[in-house]
Structure 1
């Protein structure tokens, strides 16, 4: 009996010690403190078994053992339910049912009715056991279902074109562009990836009013409906990290990062507009911890000779598209989840698609089990990754400037 209590004390103590110092939410740390307390109670109960099964010199030894067994029964039952609910195997998977069977045996062995009758203060014993059990169960449930909806994630992305300059020969246009990233929420976040894209739009102007068929074509192509302008296409002018070397870094609440880019565009380009947009993929730091090897995990779809060697999953990119991929393990917000859930991994791809008709660059990301990132996430998967891990995609508004106004910029001195 003492061995069972000591094993339970060790498991609860390990979970509690980890969560008291490392859990990402107040609820997780409160649950950790409760588990640590429960582990201490189990250790006291284990010591008390020697007196209870021996000479019984301490009148409360039976009560101490009973409280220890009841706590072990309640917590192991709930942890087993969580394990079954997850439908996942971990190295703790056999601890909960084994400890639960042992708890029922121990409860039968010590004969609760006898402990109750021999205790000098049975009501106090019952109250103490009930309070300890309710606190343990309450904190465990709180740490399991707690979702900090009161602290929504807010990330502002703003793209802005600054005053352009022509080179001395008037052949090259330099367009400064700033990308501002600000964490306006109360929750720090991990940056998985950022990206900016600048396109040159080509369009044909006609004095004749375009008919309804042209409007339908615009709508189907995702374009704005314009009476006298037909969009011919877009050409990718520039693409890159909106925040340089930001992968895996954190952005604290209130932090602002401003990146300056210089676009180089031939002055004789036949664009009517240039358009800039930025995007970011982030994870809440109160939902998971990102492994520090994220940035060093980068792999490419090409080899050293720059030949394409590997395709991304079909749901991420078309065959032949090139990409950069980063992947690292996520640790759950508390040790209770780490004990009852299999490890998850955050994966992000920076994809570049080039075809005769289309050039585009974009980010795609997922959270999955190891080596399962190739499976297309369902709508339920996306909901779970956002609520459970805080994975979010943010996109800026689109900045637009008429190209004709840009090429009237002043010329730089030779």
Structure 2
């Protein structure tokens, strides 16, 4: 009897609570199966399922075991309590794919932009790097927004942020693929770029179907801003990669000069000072890829015959001098070597001087002494070389040199270093490039050859020389490689007379 009385007492209290509490309105499911829950005209939550609805009701103070069919508490609009069209796995899969694409794009843009932002030589190239990093940050925010947009959309502009992320991916991957099409070389980045490009098309198709731009206050202005941002990124890429490294002047000036000779008091020799100078008179820093100086003595046959220039056909063919009374009899190398060696660099206005002393016997039979200096330089605003690699010599006659060892080759020393373009978009869309310098020769003379190419030197492999030459020509133009040379002559008779 006492228990019955207690139940009678509690029931009116519960009825009173239900009468005072506003009724909960459950709206019909939207296109994704999500049902809005409102109280007094205000949306207080959204639910995918009955259990989801119960969580919303608990937050409103309703008991956990509330009867969802109680019309005094819950009103179902258009669809009853059994209508829950949400496809959980499809929704979660779409959310995962959307976030994965944005996060992968964030990682790629940050990885591409960081080397330029912190290490590029020019201001424009650094700005390009920072733009990529900033775009990566936006992609990270878009990934978080995708979690809300594909979920219950509690943030009004989450869909617009995801749309910006998808557009950034489309624009940047378009730039990457455009750069890749210039050479069409397979790289590890290519599958990622193709995957993200396809993902961006899927994401935009999905977002257009959802009409996410409707919540944007000024959709036309938004579209114009995104288009201008894409145009700015493409223009800045073209400016930093092509125009600026081409417009800045690049000059390396060489001089060679003989000094006043001196006699050796103890030996029958004459000491002839010789000064070489290399100066960067341009506006951009320069790498010295390879250099060579050469001093040789020239002997000649003389004749009073004045019937015409001696050897004029050969002179025209070789670009040498033709003289009326002199025919070159021969020449012999007196001194040869490197001026600074591979990997030396010069800033604008900076010069490097090397002084030598040439020793020749007093009874020398040479008529002229000639000194030549040749330098191959590369613009530093086009690329960055791993100097620790390039400055290391690899003699071909040492077995420990591995792929550089070549006992059947002529005696040579190999220098090799990786070169990276100063616009990292080009690096990630092409195979690695190498600076290769070969020194070879005999006891009488030596010479060099050089190349920038994707070929990694291996003494046991023969590359396709025709294709390699074409690539070398392209890379020399791309990295701004130029050759400079100078020469000077002095009369041995004049030297002896000045002693």
> What TM bracket, shorter-length normalisation?
0.7 to 0.9
1:158-196 CA-partner distances (Å, limit 9, x unpaired): 111111122236621111111111111111111222211
Could you give the per-residue CA deviations for residues 147-168 of structure 1, whole angstroms, max 9, x where no partner exists?
Answer: 4233222111111111112223
**2:47 paired residue number:** none
Moved more, 287-296 or 325-334: 287-296
Q: Secondary structure at the match of 1:40?
A: helix
The superposition leaves residues 5-63 of structure 1 with CA deviations (integer Å, 9 ceiling, x where unpaired) of 11111111222222211223333222112111211221111111122122222221111
Per-residue Cα deviation, 1:113-135 (whole angstroms, up to 9, x for no partner)? 62123434323432343333333
Contact kept in structure 2, 1:210 and 1:228, CA below 8 Å: no
**Partner of residue 359 from structure 2, selected from 257, 264, 268:** 264
Equivalent residue, structure 1, for 2:453: 368
- Counterpart CA distance in 2 for 1:150 and 1:220 is 34
Q: Which protein, 1 or 2, shows the higher relative CO under an 8 Å CA cutoff with sep ≥ 6?
A: 1
Partner of 1:208: 305
Residue number in structure 1 paired with 2:82: none
Query: Which residue of 28, 40, 56 maps to 2:137?
Result: 40
CA distance in 2, matches of 1:349, 1:407: 38
Partner of 1:235, secondary structure, is strand
Cα distance, 1:274 vs structure 2: 0.7
Give the unaligned 5+ runs of structure 1. 312-319
2:36 counterpart residue number: none
1:257-300 CA deviation, whole Å, 9 max, x = no partner? 22110111122121111111111122211111110223553123
Structure 2 unaligned segments of length 5 or more: list them. Answer: 1-97, 400-405
Q: What CA distance in whole angstroms lies between the structure 1 residues aligned with 2:454 and 2:431?
A: 7
Q: Does 1:289 align with 2:384?
A: yes
Within 1, Cα distance between the matches of 2:311 and 2:283?
47
| Cα RMSD (Å) | 2.6
Aligned to 1:350: 439
Give the direction of change, closer, same or farther, for the CA distance of 1:38–1:162 in structure 2 (3 Å limit): same
Report the CA distance shift for 1:183/1:224 in structure 2 as closer, same or farther (over 3 A). Answer: same
TM-score, normalised by the number of residues in structure 1: 0.86
What is the CA-CA distance between 1:212 and the residue it aligns to?
Answer: 6.3
Residue in structure 2 matched with residue 248 of structure 1 by the alignment = 343
Single out whichever of 9-18 and 195-204 deviates more from structure 2.
Answer: 9-18
SS at match of 1:107: helix
Q: 2:368 aligns to what?
A: 273
Q: Name the SS of the counterpart of 1:269 in structure 2.
A: coil
Shift of 1:232: 0.5
Equivalent-residue separation in structure 1 for 2:227 and 2:259 (angstroms): 67
Q: Of the candidates 477, 481, 487, which is equivalent to residue 391 of structure 1?
A: 481
Name the CA shift for 1:303/1:102 in 2 (closer, same or farther; >3 Å).
Answer: closer
Q: Give distance in 2, aligned partners of 1:394 and 1:152.
A: 15
**Bigger mean CA offset, 400-409 vs 159-168:** 400-409
- Asked whether the 8 Å contact 2:300–2:326 carries over to 1, the reply is yes
| Aligned residues of 1:153 and 1:186 also touching (Cα < 8 A) | yes
TM-score, reference length from structure 2: 0.73
Are the equivalent residues in 1 in contact too, given 2:342–2:391 (CA < 8 A)? no
Counterparts of 1:70-109 in structure 2 under 5 Å?
70-109=167-206
1:56 to 1:86, Cα distance in 2 relative to 1, 3 A: same
The match for 2:71 is none
- Per-residue Cα deviation, 1:330-370 (whole angstroms, up to 9, x for no partner): 1111221121111111011233356xxxx543332110113
User: Mean alpha-carbon deviation: is it higher for 22-31 or for 282-291?
Assistant: 22-31
1:315 — aligned with what?
none
| Partners of 1:64 and 1:191 in 2: CA distance | 48
Does the aligned pair in 1 maintain the 2:287–2:346 contact within 8 Å? yes
Aligned to 2:421: 332
Q: Which has the higher helix share?
A: 2
Rate the CA distance shift 1:295–1:310 in 2: closer, same or farther, 3 A: farther
Give the alignment partner of residue 211 of structure 2, picking from 105, 114, 134: 114
Shift of the 225–133 alpha-carbon distance from structure 1 to 2, 3 Å rule, reads closer
